Structures are given as C-alpha cells and as structure tokens.
Amino acid sequence: MKIFVYWNYKDKNSKKIYSFLDSEKFEKFSESLGGSMHLHKKYQNFPQNDCIFSDLQNSNVAFFFTHGTENSILKFQCNDPNNNPDYTFIDTKNYSLLQDKVVIAICCDSLKGLGTLCTNGDTNACKAYVGFSGPLEYGNGGLGSNDKFRNLIYTSYSEAFCDTIIDAFRDNDTVKDFVKRLRAKLTKIMYGNVLKSANGSFGVNSINNTTFIVRTEKALGCKGNEEIPLFS
C-alpha cells in the first residue's frame, strides 16, 4: 500500500492549510510507515513532469490538504483558477490521475463537481472520494477575527484531521467509518477547545461563534464505495 499526501503551505493563506495537520505528529506517523507514504510539502509551484505526479499515480490512497473549487483541487490558492492553469493540480481534464484510488480532499467545495465526476463509474473513476461540498469555515467576523481565537480554530482542525487519519489507520476504518469519525471529531474537538481555552478567555459564550463548524461538518461527505477500507 502506498499513501500520497499533498500538503500546501506556500500561499498567503498557508497558515490555514499548514495548520490542518500537526507537523511533528504527522511526520512521525509518516516515518512509522517505513516508506509507504509519499509526503509532499510544497513551497513552490511544480511542473507537470514533477515526481509528485508519479508518486500520486503509484499510490492507493491520496490525501490533499490545499485549496479547492467545485471542479478542481488546486496547487495553491488562486482567485481565478480557470484562467490560471498553473495553479490547478487535479481537474476535469486530468482526473484520471485518481483512477482506482481512495481520495481524501481536505479543501473547499471539490466534492460537488470533481467528486461526482471522479466516481461516475467510468474507467477513470476512483474508488471513493471524500471531500467537502462547501467551504471549510473559520468563523469570519466576531471572535473569528481575533488572532488567539483563530489559532484555536486552526489547532482544532489540526487535531481533528491528524487524529482521525492516524486512528483510522490503526483501526482499519472503512471509508464510511472515516467520514463518521471525522464528523464527530470536528465538532467535539472544536467545542472542547473553546470551553477549556486559557483562563476561560473565550468560554461558553464563544460556542455561539463556532456554529460554523456545524456547517463544515455537514459539508463533509463521500461519493463512491463507502464500504471499502480506507487504507488497503
């Protein structure tokens, strides 16, 4: 089994993306797999012949931690990816790169269009596509504009994503189990971290500022075969 991970932290919103995983914990997990994981942490754009594409094609499971649109997974954030193809990683033209894989797209919106296309049953289809049909929200406005509160949000996402992946590997989760586990962790960890925040600086009233996590949780879903093992 080969696991591919694309983890973007180049663009100006890199704090969001890079904070989606606990770097030390996840890299230790990667090392424990003894070479089974291809972990690509990218600082800059990469050409079409980069080894990242061969690593992706040779994988069984592909994780993407980056930005996305309804019909694409992006290398980096771009205001108009349709007119900037260099920013596009996977889209409707090259989705065959995901053939026969389990895909976990931790990015906004891509489950809607790309996830549907990738699981349409044709010869280029992937086995399952986990992603979000809407944005991953951060609570803009109110406390969401507070740096300390924003860091708490990033930390909560990091714990939820990292712990879910590691636990799913340990327990040999199905794709369905993984989605269920991640949904539960997103809400539990976010609310828990708010309530136990230092000196009660955010406290119970701050729960009202984290209702966005419910929308993020509801946007999470899967298309394709949910009953197969996530890691196989």
pLDDT at 205: 54
pTM (2 d.p.): 0.90
Better pLDDT: 168 or 66:
168
In the predicted structure, residue 170 carries a pLDDT above the cut 70: yes
Tokens 């100006």, residue located: 12
Q: 147 falls in which pLDDT band (50, 70, 90)?
A: confident
In the predicted structure, residue 209 carries a pLDDT above the cut 70: no
Q: 212 falls in which pLDDT band (50, 70, 90)?
A: confident
Q: 200 falls in which pLDDT band (50, 70, 90)?
A: low
Q: Does domain 1-136 have CATH number 3.40.50?
A: yes
Tokens 């890079």, residue located: 18
- Give residue-wise pLDDT tens across range 26-77: 989 999 999 899 988 775 667 777 889 999 999 999 999 988 999 999 887 7
In single-letter form, the type of residue at position 145 comes to S
pLDDT at 23: 82
Pull the structure tokens for residue 37. 């994981």
50-64, 80-94, 117-131: range with lowest mean pLDDT: 80-94
pLDDT at 19: 74
Bin 139: left if φ > 0, else alpha if -120 < ψ < 50, else beta: left
Nearest of 179, 54, 70 to residue 117 by alpha carbon: 70
**Spans of all domains in the chain:** 1-136, 137-220
